[in-house]
Chains A and B, each alone.
Chain A
Amino acid sequence: MNTKISHHIYGWLLVMPAVILMGTFTHLPSVTTLISSFFSNETKKRPSIFIGAENYEYMFEDPVFVEAVMNNLWYSLGTIIPSIILAIIMALFVNSKLPGKTLVRMAYFTPTILPMIAVSNLWLFFYTPDIGLLDQIGALFGLESHNWLGDTNTVLACIIVITIWKEAGFFMIFYLAALQNISPDLKEAAALEGSSKLYFFRRITFPLLMPITLFILINATLNSFKLVDHLFILTKGGPNNASNLILYYIYEVAFSFFDFSYAATITIFLLVILAIISLAQFVFFDKRIHYR
């Protein structure tokens, strides 16, 4: 009996640091966020009162919020798949026998090391009409200057390109590690059987990369909702909200409008979406992934 209790205490002591950290900085804030989303915003002159689901009703009527959600969907679609494909291609490339392999690997990884804010300042001048790099290259081919970030049709695509450029190198590192774990025996066996390179990739390499792909897929999805640093420098969500994303809008509502309870409401929405996505990914892919 005594040993059982002491085992319990021992166990709890072991998880204590994690419990305390997670509790204080993850779970407690989530719960208080949920609570404050049901109250009106507090200012010194107007105390906070319980308003039920009013914030949630307002949220779905708020045109800026709806636009931010739609933008975020496109942004996710536009960043996740391309950056994963690009990462695989780059990983395969630098995993092959290549002169100056280390240099190329480093070059691919460089965008990941750079801080997002620095990167954004760089790209701001790439995209600037007339004097920007993009337009100057275009001018060589006689293309007309385009207002990349000032046009509602191109601004989101511009943001997506930066994100892919930034993320692909990071994912490449994971793929590279996974590729180097694949036994060379398999390749030899396949070569003996006379399978083509593409067939080998489709039937052997790619399935073996599935666990890492799941990991990257979840990361890329979360990032597409989490990564908004570049908006602060590049567009501030504009023009006319064409590049506004959910998290940036939360920031605007909280710190520009000082409407903390409405910001809490959108945060809960984001939390629910992310929870659903990661659950779905685990459930759906777990059945199809071959873990060794």
Chain B
Amino acid sequence: MEHLVPNNLNRRSVMNVNKIYKNTLVLISIFLGYFSYAFGIELNMYYPVAVGGPLTKIVDGMVAEFEKQNPDVKVNAIYAGNYNDARIKALAALKSGKPAQLSVMFSIDIYELIEQDAIVPFDDLVNTYEEKAWLYSFYPTLMENGVTDGKVWGIPFQRSTIVMYYNKDIFRKSGLNPDQPPQNWNELVDYGKQIVSKNSNTWGVMIPSTGYPYWMFGALTMQNNQVLMNGDGNETYFNHPSVVEALQFWKDLGSKHNVMPSGTIEWGTLRKNFLEGKTAIMWHSTGNLTTVKKNAKFDFGVAMLPESKRRGTPTGGGNFYIFKQSSDEEKKASMRLIKFMTSPEQAAHWSMATGYMGVSPSSYQTEALRNYVKDFPPAVVARDQLNYATAELSTFQTGRVRKLLDDAIQSALTGNESPKQALEKAQKSAERLLRRYQ
């Protein structure tokens, strides 16, 4: 009965409370310790998706795999809309003082990011010989948009080129060889005419001119052996005769040869047009390949874009960037994540799941991708085309300069101005914008 004495009880309960308190503290600190050990570093990463298909799931899966292999790093991969949205969100996060540590953003955002002093060059982050070699393990053409001022600022990840998808069934119906897509501009027009004359309600070719007109145009000008800008991003060549000629050809497809609808062609609905057999040929990002493969109810082929004076396409898509406002540890962890995501195995997996290309030659050496390519040869067209590829339009003031060119293209395609007029105007305005960067 002693323990019923109030005094005693009081003392005991006080002791108990103390004990509980202490134990809780110990437990909390153990938990905290565990968490800080388990999630030593937390990385925020924005990434964009520009084509259809369940790409977010694929990225999340790759990130989960990375976390499993690197339990000390926690990655929040945040889907941030299309390329523009991703850039806006990343830069807004930067201004708010709570930046992401790394992001996948448009490869052509490089000058904007440098001007905002947002990113660090990878050259400052690699130390060992092995790491330096890693920097040069990617396809050189894919590095073009990521290198300026002699430094590497972006590592290729979801990269594409423009390829030509064509409907073999329509080719057969039109009396064309389904295994021989047009090789040059003349054939493109001739085949187109044959297709239009043999089929009612089917166009020969569609090249999208909304969304990313300058990108498609970069292919046409490269085929005409002329690039759109210099490597320092402070000069454009919009009024070069070869460029004008390329725009004239694009316009003529619609207004003169009648193998393409006149006016502009919507980027977003083009794939559906192709899948519904409304056009025999479409030019589109290789990032669509897997979706087209899944949804096409007809026999389709994928080929390199045709040539005028040579073959050509711009590369496209997103690069990894590492942000300046992050600690050294975070930068190191970011490097680990980027190395993982671009490793041959992951790049091969990514390429098969989406149609984007493997970013390094060694990814095509992996067994998985080798077998995939054997069964599905279109998967290597984009890679083979890299030999003829050039950088995507990217300059200082890139948003404005890009819009100037987009407007000029659309103005010519809709017949408001002649290609020469439109491009001269764009060039003049671009020169004014870029003067202070020279």
- A binding-site residues for B, Cβ under 8 Å: 43-45, 64, 124-125, 128-131, 145, 147, 149-152, 233, 235-236, 238-242, 252, 255-259
Contacts and interface: CB of A to CB of B under 8 A. Distances in A.
B117 interface: yes
Counting chain B CB atoms within 10 Å of each CB, the highest count among A152, A239, A252, A258 belongs to A239
B115 interface: yes
Interface in B383-435: 397, 399-400, 403, 406-408, 410-411, 413-414, 416
B180 interface: no
Given A125-B272, A255-B84, 5 more contacts: A45-B117, A147-B263, A239-B413, A240-B410, A242-B414
Interface string B106-147: 000000100111100000000000000000000000000000
A268 to B, nearest CB: 20
A152 B88 CA distance: 29
Nearest to A43: B115
Contacts of A150: 209-210, 261, 263-266, 414
B263 A239 contact: yes
B416 A240 contact: yes
B403 A252 contact: yes
B96 interface: no
B268 interface: yes
B264 A238 contact: yes
A45 B414 contact: no
B209 A239 contact: yes
B414 A130 contact: no
B403 A44 contact: no
Contact of B264 (A125, A239, A258, A259): A239
A240 B407 contact: yes
B49 to A, nearest CB: 16
Counting chain A CB atoms within 10 Å of each CB, the highest count among B91, B203, B410 belongs to B410
Bin chain B's interface residue count: 35 or more
B278 interface: yes
B211 interface: yes
B438 interface: no
B406 A238 contact: yes
B427 to A, nearest CB: 15
Contact of B210 (A151, A238, A252, A256): A238
17 contacts: A43-B117, A64-B403, A125-B269, A130-B203, A131-B269, A147-B264, A149-B210, A150-B263, A150-B265, A151-B263, A239-B411, A239-B414, A240-B408, A252-B399, A256-B403, A257-B403, A258-B116
Counting chain A CB atoms within 10 Å of each CB, the highest count among B84, B399, B407, B416 belongs to B407
A42 B266 CA distance: 35
B299 to A, nearest CB: 20
A200 B209 CA distance: 53
B99 to A, nearest CB: 13
B115 A44 contact: yes
A150 B398 CA distance: 24
Counting chain A CB atoms within 10 Å of each CB, the highest count among B201, B264, B410 belongs to B264
Contacts of A125: 269, 272
B91 A258 contact: yes
A257 B397 contact: yes
Nearest to B115: A43
B210 A236 contact: yes
Given A239-B209, A240-B416, A257-B397, A129 B115 contact: no
Contacts of A240: 407-408, 410-411, 414, 416
Given A147-B264, A150-B263, A131 B400 contact: no
Nearest to A236: B210
Contact of B278 (A131, A151, A236, A252): A131
B414 A151 contact: yes
B414 A131 contact: no
B278 A147 contact: no
B261 A129 contact: yes
B266 A149 contact: yes
B120 to A, nearest CB: 13
Contacts of A124: 266, 268-269
A128 B403 contact: no
A44 B117 contact: yes
A240 B410 CA distance: 5
Nearest to B270: A128
Nearest to B412: A240
Contacts of A252: 399, 403
B47 to A, nearest CB: 18
A240 B264 CA distance: 10
A259 B403 CA distance: 14
Interface in B330-372: none
A261 to B, nearest CB: 14
Given A131-B272, A256-B399, A43 B266 contact: no
Contact of A258 (B112, B201, B268, B407): B112
B284 to A, nearest CB: 16
B217 to A, nearest CB: 14
A242 B414 CA distance: 10
B276 interface: yes
Contact of B269 (A44, A64, A128, A258): A128
Interface string B247-283: 0000000000000011111101100110010100000
Counting chain A CB atoms within 10 Å of each CB, the highest count among B266, B278, B406 belongs to B266
A128 B84 contact: no
A215 B174 CA distance: 60
Contacts of B262: 147
Interface string B175-218: 00000000000000000000000000101000001110000000
A118 B133 CA distance: 48
